[in-house]
């Protein structure tokens, strides 16, 4: 039955049972196929009219089934043919294996038969070994007898420094020793045993003088090499001989290593004390010689000023040795030695070690400057390693810096700290000199413009500029650090200077009549001029220091702020002195006698003129402006004390007229100093005419309008000030007073930007009015 009949359900169901028992997967696959077919048919023939195409589907599926059966039969046929060919190959291989096994058995039998014949040749082998040993002994007898004399002759040649001849004899002795050891080794290897320790010790004892000769020759060689820098100009021949011997030894080491270790090399052992690596020893000795040359430079007086001389001596010694190496020794060695580069490496390393040792000392600023200048500028200058003929060698060797970046930073920090200590001491001394100058019984010195000054700003400025100039010789970074340090110290000095000003003022106030304080005001003005000079000299370094501090995330110094505080304090003391001189005349101001006679305004103006004359000897800002402000504040403060209260319109007119006359006298004293009319630059003297107009106003009903103008000009005027002005008028009723004060409370404009309050500095004295009941509002 065909597969197709089985698939469609044949009449012999028993035919499929064996297949299912052997391969259960077939039954599972058939079930899956039937299920898939049923699903497909239910989808295709879901409508009765679709059954008309049943014959077409049946024919197509029959063709597909026949094609599959054909491909299966072809595949099975190919598989069966391959299996048959493999079985045939296996049969042929089995036959060949049987033949090879038979041949190996025959060879084993023949080998066993020949073993008996080989045993009879062992005696002949022993005789041959003994014969070769005797032959070697006979051939080496002449050499062995001459070893002692050769050793003595070589020692004599070494002592007389005939190094090439001594080395030739030494090579002969070593070759003999090597040959004898090799012959003994070969004889032992032939007999199947290793060279005995007894034989090795015998040969080593007999040739013991050879090892001593090697040491003696090496000692002489290294003595010649180490002294080459010193004696090569007189006689370079020993150095040339030493280099030739080193090259012979290096070549011999190379040949021996290639013979023993190269491909196809023999098993001959290396001779004793090989390889010698004398070329490496040559450069080691050269480095030690360079180090010894460094140590030969005198270390005496290297501290303090002698350190610069020591570094200069090092420079000359290095350049002299470099000239010897480049122009003489370089021509005595093979080109691959690159002797100049070797000397540069050795000297650079020695310098690095020596400078690190020097940097660890407790150096002063001058010593640190000498080291930094030598490392950063002299060492790489054309006079030293920056020479055009040495630049290529330096770049090729890639030696790096003499002192690392961290070491240089530490040195620079030590330099800045050392300079800071010195600057701090000098500034302290300068301040002490300044304080002593304040006690002098003469006027301060003046500059070419006639302004008072002392030596303090000159000393500080020159000190900072000199330190910055010296630091710039090392580099801009050190210059910036030095400037920043100087500004920090200057800020500290100015803070102490301001404290000294405060003490100076306290001392003067304790005893104003003391003769020592005769020129108190003069030195205050000189201090202000000093601060102004310092301000102009510090502005540029301050900006530079701010940029430098921002790069290092540091808080920059702010000497300008300290200067401003010192100037303000000095100006305050000057104004206090002016107030002290005005104080005897202020109680008589705006009184009844003043109203009649006009006193003491001329005396006040006289004091003002005397002070203003002195203020002309000082640089701004402490000049007439502050004095003008003080005079107006004190004048209005006297007005607020209500020393004069008008009882009639005539008195109001007279009071206002006298105030205007005082204002005119003040203006003449201040030389008619006027502002530009802006709010930010209000002339304080303009307040007096405004107050005079407010007092002499005839119609009290217009006071509200007058007050509006007053508040617009002086927005800091308070209710207490206005109440005092109304009291001085003496003609204001309760209703008008209430209206005026209500208007002031309602307007109260904010202070404009840049406006300097004047009424804030004028306190109104407390009222002396008798107690009244709270049931009624007091007038």
How far from the centroid of its chain's Cα atoms is residue 225's Cα? 43
Across residues 351-357, what is the average pLDDT? 89
Q: Look up residue 174 and give its two tokens.
A: 């070593």
More confident residue, 471 or 167: 471
State how far the alpha carbon of 150 is from the alpha carbons of 122, 156, 173, 190, in Å.
41, 10, 8, 32
What's the half-sphere exposure (Cβ side, CA atoms, 13 Å) at 179? Answer: 13
Q: What is the structure's pLDDT at 428?
A: 94
Which helix (H) or strand (E) segment is 446 a member of?
strand 445-446
Q: Distance between CA atoms of 98 and 223, rounded to whole angstroms?
A: 79
- Percent pLDDT > 70 in the chain is 81
Q: How many Å separate Cα 315 from the centre of its chain?
A: 29
Strands of 640-755, DSSP E: none
Least confident of 153-162, 218-227, 472-481, 549-558: 549-558
Average pLDDT over residues 418-439: 93
At residue 362, φ and ψ (nearest 5 deg) are -85, 85
Reported as type and span, the H/E element at residue 736 is: helix 734-747
Share of the chain above pLDDT 90, in %: 24
**Mean pLDDT to the nearest integer, 624-646:** 89
Q: What angle do CA 747, 750, 754 make, to 5 degrees?
A: 140
The four Cα atoms 120, 122, 126, 131 give a dihedral, to 10 degrees, of: 60
Token pair belonging to 487 = 């500004």
- Give the tens place of pLDDT for each residue, 358-378: 888 888 888 999 999 999 999
Residue 166 sits at φ, ψ, to 5 deg, of -60, -40
Query: What is the pLDDT, as a whole number, of residue 65?
Result: 86
pLDDT value of position 413: 93
* Residue of 348, 343, 292 whose CA lies nearest to 321: 343
**Selected residue with higher pLDDT from 195 and 733:** 733
Instruction: pLDDT band for 268, please (50, 70, 90 cuts).
Output: low
Question: At 463, is the pLDDT very low, low, confident or very high (cuts 50, 70, 90)?
Answer: very high
Q: Map 201-255 to HEC letters.
A: HHHHHHCHHHHHHHHHHHHHHHHHHHCHHHHCCCCCHHHHHHHHHHHHHHHHHHH
Q: Given the structure tokens 């190996």, which residue do they identify?
A: 104
229: nearest Cα among 359, 319, 364: 319
The yes-or-no verdict on residue 17 having pLDDT over 60 is: no
Res. 633 pLDDT band, cuts 50 70 90? very high
Helix (H) / strand (E) element for 304: namely none
pLDDT score, position 371: 92
pLDDT for the residue 750:
84
In sequence order, the 6+-apart residues with CB closer than 8 A to the CB of 297 are: 310, 313, 314, 317
Its pTM stands at 0.67
Mean pLDDT of 148-163: 78
Residue 334 has pLDDT above 70, yes or no: yes
What is the reported pLDDT for 146? 63
Under 8 Å between Cβ of 173 and 151: yes
Residue 341 has pLDDT above 80, yes or no: yes
Q: H or E element: which one contains 415? A: helix 405-438
Q: How far is Cα 428 from Cα 445, in angstroms, rounded to an integer?
A: 21
- In whole angstroms, what is the distance from residue 690 CA to residue 723 CA? 16
Among 250, 229, 227, smallest CA distance to 329 is for 229
Say how far apart CA 734 and CA 205 lie, in whole Å.
139
Q: What is the DSSP string of 72-125?
A: HHHHHHHHHHHHHHHHHHHHHHHHHHHHHHHHHHHHHHHHHHHHHHHHTTHHHH
Type and span of the H or E element at 452 = strand 452-453
pLDDT given for residue 473 in this prediction: 92
Dist CA 600 CA 582 (whole Å): 10
Residue 409's region, left for phi above 0, alpha for psi from -120 to 50, else beta, is alpha
Residue 679 has pLDDT above 80, yes or no: no
Whole-number pLDDT of residue 768: 55
Mean pLDDT score, 728-739: 89
430 neighbors 486 (Cβ within 8 angstroms): no
- Could you tell me which residue, 513 or 496, shows the higher pLDDT? 496
d(CA 731, CA 691): 16
State whether CATH 1.10.357.50 applies to domain 409-577: yes
What pLDDT does residue 162 have?
83
Of the candidates 182, 299, 288, 306, the residue with the CA atom closest to the CA atom of residue 229: 288
The residue-averaged pLDDT of 592-597 equals 87
3-class DSSP assignment, residue 445: strand
The angle subtended at Cα 245 by Cα 244 and Cα 251, nearest 5°, is 90
pLDDT for residue 252: 85
């Amino acid at each position: 039955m065909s597969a197709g009949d089985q698939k469609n359900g044949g009449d012999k169901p028993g035919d499929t049972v064996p297949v299912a028992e052997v391969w259960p997967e077939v039954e599972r696959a058939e079930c899956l196929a039937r299920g898939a077919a049923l699903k497909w048919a239910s989808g295709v023939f879901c409508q009765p009219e679709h059954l008309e195409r049943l014959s077409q589907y049946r024919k197509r599926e029959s063709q597909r089934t026949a094609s599959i059966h054909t491909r299966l039969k072809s595949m099975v046929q190919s598989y069966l043919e391959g299996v048959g060919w493999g079985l045939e190959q296996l049969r042929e291989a089995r036959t060949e294996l049987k033949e090879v096994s038979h041949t190996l058995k025959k060879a084993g039998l023949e080998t066993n038969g020949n073993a008996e014949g080989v045993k009879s040749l062992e005696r002949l082998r022993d005789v041959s070994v003994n014969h070769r040993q005797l032959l070697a002994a006979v051939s080496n007898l002449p050499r062995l007898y001459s070893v002692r004399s050769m050793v003595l002759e070589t020692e004599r040649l070494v002592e007389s420094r005939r190094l090439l001849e001594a080395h030739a004899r030494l090579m002969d002795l070593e070759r003999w020793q090597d040959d004898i050891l090799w012959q003994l080794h070969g004889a032992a290897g032939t007999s199947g045993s290793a060279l005995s320790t007894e034989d090795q010790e015998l040969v080593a004892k007999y040739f013991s003088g050879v090892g001593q000769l090697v040491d003696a020759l090496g000692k002489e060689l290294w003595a010649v090499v180490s002294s080459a820098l010193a004696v090569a100009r007189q006689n370079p021949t020993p150095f040339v001989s030493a280099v030739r011997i080193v090259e012979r030894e290096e070549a011999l080491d190379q040949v021996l290593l290639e013979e023993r270790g190269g491909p196809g090399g023999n098993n001959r052992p290396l001779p004793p004390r090989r390889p010698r690596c004398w070329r490496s020893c040559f450069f080691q000795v050269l480095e030690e010689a360079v180090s010894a040359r460094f140590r030969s430079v005198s270390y005496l007086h290297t501290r303090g000023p002698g350190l610069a001389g020591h570094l200069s001596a090092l420079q000359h010694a290095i350049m002299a040795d470099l000239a010897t190496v480049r122009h003489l020794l370089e021509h005595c060695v093979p080109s691959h030695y690159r002797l100049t580069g070797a000397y540069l490496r050795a000297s650079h390393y020695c310098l690095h070690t020596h400078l690190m040792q020097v940097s660890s000392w407790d150096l002063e600023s001058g010593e640190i400057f000498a080291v930094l200048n030598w490392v950063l500028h002299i060492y790489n200058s054309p006079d030293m390693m920056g020479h055009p003929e040495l630049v290529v060698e330096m770049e090729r060797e890639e030696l790096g810096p003499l002192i690392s970046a961290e070491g240089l930073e530490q040195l620079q920090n030590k330099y800045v700290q050392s300079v800071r200590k010195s600057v701090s001491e000098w500034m302290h001394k300068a301040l002490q000199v300044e304080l002593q100058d304040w006690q002098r019984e003469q006027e301060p010195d003046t500059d070419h413009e006639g302004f008072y000054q002392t030596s303090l700003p000159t000393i500080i400025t020159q000190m900072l500029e000199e330190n910055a100039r010296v630091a710039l010789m090392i580099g801009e970074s050190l210059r910036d650090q030095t400037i920043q340090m100087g500004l920090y110290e200057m800020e500290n000095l100015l803070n102490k200077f301001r404290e000294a000003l405060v003490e100076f003022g306290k001392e003067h106030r304790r005893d104003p009549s003391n003769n020592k304080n005769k020129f108190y005001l003069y030195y205050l003005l000189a201090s202000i001029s000093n601060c102004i000079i310092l301000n102009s000299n510090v502005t540029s370094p301050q900006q530079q220091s701010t940029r430098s501090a921002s790069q290092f995330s540091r808080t920059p110094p702010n000497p300008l702020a300290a200067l401003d505080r010192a100037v303000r304090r000095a100006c305050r003391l000057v104004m206090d002195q002016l107030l002290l001189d005005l104080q005897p005349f202020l109680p008589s101001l705006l009184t009844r006698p003043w109203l009649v006679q006009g006193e003491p305004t001329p005396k006040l103006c006289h004091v003002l003129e005397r002070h203003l004359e002195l203020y002309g000897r000082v640089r701004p800002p402490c000049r007439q402006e502050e004095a003008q402000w003080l005079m107006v504040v004190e004048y209005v403060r006297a007005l607020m004390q209500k020393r004069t209260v008008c009882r009639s319109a005539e008195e109001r007119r007279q009071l206002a007229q006298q105030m205007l006359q005082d204002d005119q006298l003040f203006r003449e004293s201040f030389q008619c100093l006027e502002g530009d009319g802006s709010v930010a630059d209000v002339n304080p003297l303009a307040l007096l005419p405004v107050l005079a107009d407010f007092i002499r106003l005839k119609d009290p009903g217009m006071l509200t309008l007058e007050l509006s103008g007053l508040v617009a000009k002086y927005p800091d005027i308070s209710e207490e000030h206005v109440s005092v002005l109304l009291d001085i008028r003496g003609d204001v009723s309760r209703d008008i007073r209430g209206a005026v004060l209500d208007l002031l409370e309602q307007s109260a404009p904010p202070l404009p930007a840049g406006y300097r309050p004047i009424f804030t500095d004028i306190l109104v004295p407390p009222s002396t009015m008798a107690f009244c009941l709270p049931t009624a509002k007091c007038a």
